[in-house]
Amino acid sequence: MERIERTALRNLIHNEKYCRKVLPFIKEEYFSDRLEKVLFTEIYKFVNKYNNLPTKESLSIEINSNKSINEDEYKKITDILSTLNPEPVNIDWLVETTEKFCKDRSIHNAILSGIQILDGKDKAHTPEYLPELLSNALSVSFDQKVGHDYLQESKERFDFYKKKEERLELDLDFFNKITRGGIPSKTLNICLAGTGVGKTMFMTHLASSVLLQGKNVLYITLEMAEERIAERIDANLLNVGMSDLEELPYTMYETKINKLQSKTTGTLIIKEYPTATANTGHFKNLISELALKKSFKPDIVFVDYLNICTSSRFKSGANVNSYTMIKAIAEELRGLAVENDIPIFSATQTTRGGFVSSDVGLEDTSESFGLPATADFMFALISSEELEEKNQIMVKQLKNRYNDPTVNRKFILGVDRSKMRFYDVEQNAQTDLVDSGQDSVSSNDKFKKLGQFSDFKV
């Protein structure tokens, strides 16, 4: 019975359609027999150099000139070549079988490499490399997609236009309006605010609301301790003021937690890193580790906050200006969002001028204008003494790739700082805004008041 390796070699020589499909994905290391490995290498080199299938004669000549092959091995390889005659075969079956062979060999090789690492024979890697090694082996796939053919794939494009994009809906009506129904995956979303205005409060509020939807949330903090972030989420979800949490009896606290668990199927993981020590490499490893140890895949990631991350491209202490550094961090975070098919939320500080401004703009972004250039969605949280007296905060759109940013450019949200919570206010609270681009609100639109908002909290 012929092995798949021989069948693959035969069709790499005689079947151009098969060769074009599978050659980019087959690796020399997948062949266990050394002579078959040599033969595959020569086929691969020939096709890449001449963009055509090799003949048996050309392969025989190339192998004969290979100085690593002795006379006895050369004879055996030519014997193999003589058996590789064209035969009819179902191309779909052959591609599918070859893909399975490549996956199996990739996993087999990864396990052997893992044993080498654990035995200390591989000095280049540590056991921490094992999750990445296995993940790469499991991801082997014959992905034939190499770009969008504008003319040939018009039907697929039209279907895409009609397909409703999956978005992560928020619990704030105006945010759903300006994002056309929620935050899409593979995006970087930035909250801009001055010190103490409410960046962390906003992100913990969103994390709480997404958890209540039954989604998985990963909250990465580089500023506060894990317990302090959890405390803010407790205040939001358990409907208990921050100052009252310390006085709350454990039995009552446990009852509220149990009630919360019955209301959601989601999971919230909070991970703390020391300030200015973590980059997307750490975050990527964290996501992989959570997948392996807890079977946890986040639906959204919060990074609190971008400016105190480090870049995976620049070493710590490197002589790099702040524009380049912050832009690099933003690009890496957005790349992480695309790679994991999730939205990422983060925050940044305003400049000193923006901190006292009542009308914050993109120019008030601290350290680097490269950040708003990279973000998909960016908005500012603006506070004033007058707004604080009314327990309100103003939101201003700065950049929006999801919708027209001139519509609802500014709007008001209610804020309950003791419970770390934002909520929708009545429409008449929006009427005093100048140049806000407010669209008309139908009589069917209902905005939640604070009392209504607390109904679904524990």
Rounded-to-integer distance, Cα 153 and Cα 162, Å: 15
* Cα torsion 87, 93, 95, 96: sign: negative
Distance, in Å, from the CA atom of 4 to the CA atom of 52, rounded to the nearest integer, reads 23
pLDDT in tens, 272-301: 999 988 999 999 999 999 998 899 999 999
Residues of the chain with pLDDT under 50: 434, 440-455
Q: Give the per-residue pLDDT at 356.
A: 54
Token look-up 């996956």 returns 103
Report DSSP letters for 147-186, one per residue. S--TTTTHHHHHHHHHSPPPEE--S-HHHHHHTTSSEESS
CA 141 to chain centre: 20
- Rounded to an integer, what distance in angstroms lies between the CA atom of residue 408 and that of residue 173? 12
Radius of gyration of the chain (CA): 29
pLDDT number for residue 451: 42
Whether residue 178 contacts residue 397, with contact meaning beta carbons closer than 8 Å, is answered with yes
Distance from C-alpha of 34 to C-alpha of 265, rounded to nearest angstrom: 52
Task: Write down the pLDDT at residue 292.
Answer: 87
Q: What is the pLDDT of residue 31?
A: 92
Segments making up each domain of the chain, as ranges: 4-138, 167-456
pLDDT at 353: 63
Q: Give yes or no on whether 4-138 and 167-456 have one common fold.
A: no
CB 233 within 8 A of CB 218: no
Contact 204, 229 (CB under 8 A): yes
Of 296, 304, 325, the closest CA to residue 313 belongs to 325
Question: Cα(122)–Cα(201) distance, rounded to whole angstroms?
Answer: 46
Pairing outcome for strands 410-416 and 392-400: antiparallel
Q: Cα–Cα distance between 166 and 300 in angstroms, integer?
A: 13
Per-residue pLDDT at 363: 74
Q: Is 54 left (phi over 0), alpha (psi -120 to 50) or beta?
A: beta
Is the torsion defined by CA of 240, 244, 249, 254 positive or negative? positive
How many Å apart are CA 329 and CA 313, to the nearest integer? 9
> Which CATH number is 4-138 given?
1.10.860.10
pLDDT at residue number 375:
92
**Cα gap 123→101, rounded to integer Å:** 29
pLDDT at res. 124 = 86
Is residue 36 within 8 Å of residue 59, measured between CB atoms? no
Q: 191, 372 in Cβ contact below 8 A?
A: no
CATH 3.50.50.60 holds for 167-456: no
First to last CA, the chain: 66
**What's the pLDDT at 443?**
37
Specify the pLDDT at position 329.
92
User: How many of the other CB atoms lie within 10 Å of CB of 58?
Assistant: 16
HSE-CB at 15 with a 13 A cutoff on CA atoms is 23
